[in-house]
Amino acid sequence: MLIKKILVTGGAGFIGSHTCVELLNQGYDLVVVDNLLRSNSKSLKVIEAITGKPLSFYQADIRDQEKLTAIFEAEKVDAVIHFAGLKVVNESSSMPLDYYDNNVSGTVTLLQVMKTFGCKNLIFSSSASVYGNDAPVPVPEDSPRSSLTPYGRTKLIIEDVLTDLAASDAAWNIVILRYFNPVGAHPSGDLGEDPKGRPNNLMPYVTQVALGKLEKVQVFGSHYDTKDGTGVRDYIHVVDLARGHAAAIQKLKPHSGLSVYNLGTGKGSSVLEVIKEMEGAVGHPISYEIADRRPGDIAVSYADVTKAKQELNWQAEYDLKRMCQDAWRWQTKHPNGFAE
């Protein structure tokens, strides 16, 4: 089974766009489907400029079965990498129906169209948010799953749908990738995270404070049982994450069934370590203040990446210093993201 043409849903977004660069560089033909609700089509032009290779783009919503059917009819794809979905954790609590509709219903529609066309090779972007707060550290793939947010629950539900699908039909080959905390940007500085409005994740927040766009970083909690009292997370460079998807394609072999892998570095960094490392990249202090810890936040979480190393022959290469340098290069070259 030769995989040549890949459909990438959400390919204009942060992780999707970096994965497109990696896949084009490895010689795959790409079809990107994105509704551009929270991304910008300029990222697709940047992908083509970086790689020197073209891709096909369709502006479409994965919930639109008619449009998806027409795309599959026209493109004859061999596999799908599914990034598309809403992903702001705290927003999901105030907009649960939007999250279940976009993420769960959208995925089911996509799977139905894939089934119709006999395309049964799928890589799904899940999240470490499916691990409950009681998971051991480092977190192995067989840890108990639970989630405190609608966003996390959409990922849980989709994982269950995929598990049931693989069990019902051995022709499906499915890889679920659980990401930890994707950060950084393409080394060119021309492709990166383009949060519309106020950033929700630590790294873009820190870079915007460093740039003077925001006043100070809020550090939620300073009395955790960690080396400096602040929360520890597994930050992974988005380019390493993109390489992980390319490695996962090799896993899509006939009768390979369903596999689950963590993608992280296997190391934890505290909030203060991230700020300090970013200060090194920026060359000046970054203002922060300690705030109350947020309900549901855990002290420490980082991945057990043994399985991905052994079975995908993949491991993260970039360290926190490089993550900060690349994030800062993107932020300074494109202070308004793709909007300018």
Pairing of strands 232-233, 269-270: antiparallel
Residue 151 known to be catalytic: yes
- The answer to whether residues 32 and 55 touch, using CB atoms and an 8 Å cutoff, is yes
Residue among 151, 205, 235, 261 flagged as catalytic: 151
Q: Catalytic positions, please?
A: 151
